[in-house]
Structure 1
C-alpha cells in the first residue's frame, strides 16, 4: 500500500479524511520528491499509509503555499542559485538579477549590466539538475529596452562555451520597457540557465530573472481519457453544448463551434463522467481566444466519485488563476481518484466557457497509462548504415533485441552517429521509449542524447535536448519523459568520438 498526502481544515480521522492531494507510489532511497497540490486550501497537511500495520518514516517534509485568499506564482528557484556573467559594466553585478527586486530603473540598483562585448552572457547555476518550466525576465525601463532583442535562453548541464552551448529554450524577440515576460521551457533539464545575446558587440542588462521548475526525476502522463466520457453542464447558452469540450477540436474562436457556453448564472459548472473510476494525472483546459478570456479566472477543478452538489463537492485538484486567451494550461492532479471531473466557477453570476478539456490518467488500481505510438507513421533516416541495420527497423513494431533477428538499426563506426524520426508534422512529445540491444554491446547507448524540435540544423541534433541516456540494461526498454516538448523531429545522437549507434 502506498502513502497519501491529504490537505484540509478538518480533524476528522485525525485529519486523514481531508481531500487527497497526492498518492506516493514510491520515492527513491535518499531522494526528495515534490507533489503539486495546486492551491488546495487547508490548515492541516497529513501523510498517511492506509491499510494494515505499517511503519511511517519521514526524513524531511517541506511545504510551499500562501495564505488563503492570496494568489502566488510557482516558487522561484533562481533565488537559491549562484550567478556569473561575461563581464561587469557600470557596477551591474550578476546577483542583481536574482535579488527579488524587479525595479526596472537602472539607477535603483537592481539591474545587471555587462560591458560592451561580443556575445555577452549571464548564467544561473541552480546547484542541482531541475526540470525547468518557465524563465521570466524583467527588462530595463528607463532606457535601452531594445538591447534584449534577439537574446536566447539556454538550459542544460554543460559548461561548454560557458553554458551557452546548451539546448535553447527560447529566443527573446522583444520585451517591452519595464515589463516582465515568461518563456516556457517545457521541462527541459539542466543545472544551468543562460541568457546570451549572440552576434556582434552588445550590452546585456537584466533587471530580474525568475525560474520555476522541479527537481529532475518526475514523470509525465499521456493519453486523453476525456474523449470516451459523457458530459453535462449546469445550463446551455448560445448553443454551447457541453460535448464541444471533448470533441478533439481545440479551436478557441467561439464562432468555429468548438467551445461550450453556459447561461449567466450563479456557480456555473461542467462535468465529465469517465464512466469508471480513474486515477487522474492531469486536466488540460483550452481557453477562449476571441473574447472574454478572463471569465475562466477563479474556476476550480474537482475530482471524485460523488454527485453531491452535481459533483462540485468532490475534492479540489486545482484553482485556475488565469489562462491566457487562446492558450491551453495543464493542471496536475497527482493521481486523485474519481469518476467525475468538474470545472466550476464559485461565487456570483458568471459564464463558463471551455474550448477543450483533456484528461490523462489510468483506471483505478492500475499503473501508468499507455499511449498511441506516433513513431510508426513517421519517416526515418540515420547518419550511416552498417551491417544492413537500416533506420526503419527502429519503428517496425518488433522489439526483438537480438541483432540477428533483423529488428535493430546499426550505423557505421563514426563520429557523432545519429538517427532521426520525422513525424511529418509538429507534435507535443510526452515520452520516448528506447529498447537496447541484448546479445552484445549494450553499453554503446551510454551517453546518447534525445533531441526534439523543428530545426534540421546539424541534421536535427541542434534541437533542444529532452534527455541524456546514461545507460539502458541489455535487452531492456527505458522511457524518457520530454514533458510536452514540441517538435516534428526526434533525434537520438551519441556526441563525441567514434561510436556505433544501435536502436531497436
Structure 2
C-alpha cells in the first residue's frame, strides 16, 4: 500500500521510483583503493567512517575521478555529497561536480555545476544544479594528486521527457489555509496529489473574489526549498493567476505574505503546470498571494520539493534574519524603511597584480567603472609575462556568490581566454593555488560576464592566466557574497550576463532639461548628474520610463543604478513592470519588483524569474516625484531562442 503514497505518479505497474536517482545508476572510478569500490557511494548509506564499509576511495592519483551513469539524460536539480568523517576531510577541497552527456576526458569535460570549496568531516552538503541536463555526473579533483573519497552521492532530478518528478513532493505532508473560502473549494484540494484542472473535478482550491487573496502551506518545519510547481485552472479564466507571487520563509507577518519572494507568475496557460526554481530558499511557510488587486485565487495543485533543515520554530521577523544565498530572493517584501542593498564587495578591498604595464594600476579594475577602452583609464593591465595574475584581498573571509569581469573593448579581447578565477584563503603561489571557481572560455570585446561561484569561501579572489605568456587586462571586477557569520545578503546573483537592452528603444513620461531616456541604456553606470549618464523626468505624478525590446523576451534580471550626487531616496517605491501591454503606457503590466531602498550611486539587481514581455517599465506610483535612472540593465532570452542572447556566456 505504501506505493500509493510514495509521491510518484508513475502509472505502469512495473515502474519503480527513487527520490535519489543515483541509486539506479552505474558507477565507475579512476582507480580502486583496496576494496573501496565506487558502488559504496550510492548504497543509500551516509556512514562516513572508512571502516564502516560505505565509502568509495580512489588511489592517490593525479586528477582522480568518480562517475555516475544515470543510463539516460536527466535534468539534475541537486547533488548531495557526504564527506569522510574519521580522517582527512580536506582531501575533498577543490573537487568539481560536472554534468553532461559527453565522455570526453572520462566525462570530466562536461559543464560544471559546482566546486566543493570546503566540507567538514562527516558532513553532507547539497549543491543546486538548476536543471543542468546530462546522463553522467562526475566528481573530479583537478590539478593535483589526491585520494578521492565519497561516502555518499545523492542526486535528484527528472528524466527528460518524463513529467513525473523524482523528488519527493513535501507539500503532501503539510497543513494548508487560505484567506477565504469559495463554496466548498477547500485549500487542501491544492495538495491532494491530483493535477486535474477543471473546477468540477473537485481538485482545485479557490478563494472568494477578495483584495490580495492568499493560500499558505505550513510544512511544519523549516526546509530548503528547491522548486514550487503550480497547476492552473483549465476550464476557465486562466489569467486570474497572472501576477501571483510565491513567497517562502519562517515569518507569519501579514499571514506569511511578507516573506522573501521566490518568483512571480507572469502568465500560465489554462490547465498547465509550471515549475519555479527557488534555489534552496529557507522556510517553513510557502505562500501564494496575488498582491495589489481583487481576484479569485485558484490553485489546482501545488507541489514543493526540498530538504528539511534542523530548525522547526518560526520567528517573528525571520524574513529579515534568514540567510539569503541565491538569486531568487533579491529583495524583501517588507515595509518601506527596511534597508536592502546588494553591494559589490570588491570596492572595499585591496588589490595587487604580478606586474605593472605603464600606469594601468590594479585599482582601476575595482573603480566601479565598466569603461572598456584603455584610453578611458579604467582598466588594469600587467606586462606581457608568463602566468600573469591580479589579486583582490577582501580583508576577511566571504562566501562568494558571483564574480563579474569586464573585458577590454578597443583591442585584443582574446587575451582573456583561458583565464581562471580562483577563490580561497591561501597565498600559496600568490593565491593562484586556491580552488577554482571558473575558466573564462571566451568574452567578446567590451562585454561583461558573470560567473557563479556557489558560495565558495575565501578572502582572496585571483584572476590568473595559466600556462602561457600574456597581458592580463581587467576593465572591471565585481564580486558579490556575504561575510562569514553575516546573514544579510551583500550581493546579487546574475543568471545571464548579456544586456539585452542594447538594441531597445526608450521613452519616458516627461523630460527634465536634456536628461534624455537613452542615457539610462548608454552602458555607463556613472551616477552623478553632471556626468551626463542619467535620464530624469520632471517632478510629475506617477513618472515612468519604458524600454521597448522590440520583441518578447523571458526576462531574468533587471539591474538599476541610482543617482549618486543627490537625493537617492527619490527611487524608493519605484516598481519594475514587465509585459506586452501598453495599457497605462505599460504600467499595468505584471510587477517584477518594488525598489524599497537604494543607497546613493549603487546598483541593485532584481530577479524576474523569466517573466515574459516586450516592455520593461520603471514607474513610481502614487506620488509626485522626479524619476532618475543612471543605468538600466536587463538580461534574458528571446522567446523561441534556446541560446543566450549575445556572445558565449559561462554558467557554473
- Could you state the TM-score of these two structures normalised by the residue count of structure 1? 0.49
Greater RCO, CA 8 A, separation 6+: 1
Q: TM-score, normalised by structure 2?
A: 0.40
